[in-house]
């Protein structure tokens, strides 16, 4: 019996339980620790198998500072499964000591390496929050990724380019921000949409 989940076939619940029982006997871990190990191994395997089947994928990355003032990075994969549905899967939630573009790029590389994701060939799109360390045109994460994979486009830039090609003489308009507590701002948003003001 193999005690590791490998190959291209998705593991069954029975296989996961066998690995769990093996871990309990061999490592003398408590039930929670063993369950976490098996769950992690199964999840990693499923994600890798599905992304491998999809071929190309996109990433959604964002950071936030937690209460202890540590930068937390979320790494989400987006891909199309075999039935044609879009899947989004949280791959990692990790602390990063360096919140600069270069530091985030190192963390990005370590996550993709850990999960065996070939981003240099298969990454087709990126989505980020608005921070300079993410979007910066000289040393932001987006720019560092695009230096090694020019096909990893940022969707907003492409959309704006297409919009300008379709409507070359028109002025670019933006939606107005609105507030949940200020009802007059809702009216301004609707005016922009319907009147073009």
Question: Which of 54-58, 94-98, 132-136 has the highest mean predicted lDDT (pLDDT)?
Answer: 94-98
Q: What share of the chain is helix, strand, coil (3-state, %, to 5)?
A: 50, 20, 35
Q: Report how far apart, in Å, the C-alpha atoms of 123 and of each of 45, 54, 58, 95 are.
A: 19, 11, 6, 23
Residue 29 has pLDDT above 60, yes or no: no
Residue 107 makes CB contacts below 8 A (sequence gap 6+) with 73, 94, 96, 98
In this structure, are 43 and 128 located in the same domain? no
Higher per-residue confidence, 2 vs 52? 52
In this structure, are 47 and 70 located in the same domain? no
Judge whether 175 lies within some domain. Answer: no
In this structure, are 82 and 92 located in the same domain? yes
Residue 147 has pLDDT above 80, yes or no: yes
Judge whether 196 lies within some domain. Answer: no
Higher per-residue confidence, 109 vs 90? 109
In this structure, are 35 and 99 located in the same domain? no
Q: What is the pTM of this model?
A: 0.58
In this structure, are 72 and 145 located in the same domain? yes
Count up the domains in the chain and report the number.
Answer: 2
- Tens-digit pLDDT profile for residues 18-28: 766 666 565 55
Residue 189 has pLDDT above 50, yes or no: yes
Judge whether 1 lies within some domain. Answer: yes
Higher per-residue confidence, 71 vs 188? 71
Q: Three-class SS string for 104-127? A: HHHHHHHHHHHCCCCHHHHEEEEE
Judge whether 191 lies within some domain. Answer: no
Least confident of 28-32, 91-95, 129-133, 158-162: 28-32
Q: For the CA atoms of the chain, what is the radius of gyration?
A: 22
Residue 40's domain comprises 1-54
In this structure, are 97 and 148 located in the same domain? yes
The model's confidence at residue 2, banded by pLDDT at 50, 70 and 90, is very low
Higher per-residue confidence, 102 vs 3? 102
Q: Residue 102: its pLDDT value, please?
A: 93
Q: Residue 5: its pLDDT value, please?
A: 44
In this structure, are 10 and 98 located in the same domain? no
Residue 66 makes CB contacts below 8 A (sequence gap 6+) with 72
In this structure, are 61 and 156 located in the same domain? yes
- Tens-digit pLDDT profile for residues 155-179: 556 667 777 888 888 776 665 555 5
Q: Residue 1: its pLDDT value, please?
A: 42
């Amino acid at each position: 019996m193999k005690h590791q989940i490998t190959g291209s076939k998705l593991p069954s619940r029975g296989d996961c339980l066998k690995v769990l029982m093996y871990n309990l006997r061999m490592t003398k871990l408590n039930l929670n620790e063993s369950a976490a190990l098996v769950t992690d191994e199964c999840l990693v395997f499923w994600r890798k198998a599905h992304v491998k089947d999809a071929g190309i994928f996109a990433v959604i990355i964002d950071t936030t500072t937690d209460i202890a003032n540590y930068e937390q990075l979320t790494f989400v994969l987006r891909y199309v499964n075999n039935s044609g549905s879009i899947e989004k899967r949280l791959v990692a939630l990790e602390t990063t000591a360096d919140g600069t573009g270069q530091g985030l790029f190192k963390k990005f590389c370590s996550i993709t390496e850990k999960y065996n994701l070939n981003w240099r060939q298969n990454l087709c799109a990126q989505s980020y929050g608005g921070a300079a360390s993410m979007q910066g045109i000289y040393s932001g994460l987006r720019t560092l990724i695009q230096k090694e994979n020019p096909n990893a486009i940022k969707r907003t830039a492409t959309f704006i380019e297409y919009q300008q090609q379709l409507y070359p003489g028109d002025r670019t308009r933006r939606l107005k921000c609105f507030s949940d507590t200020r009802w007059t701002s809702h009216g301004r948003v609707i005016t922009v949409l319907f009147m073009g003001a």
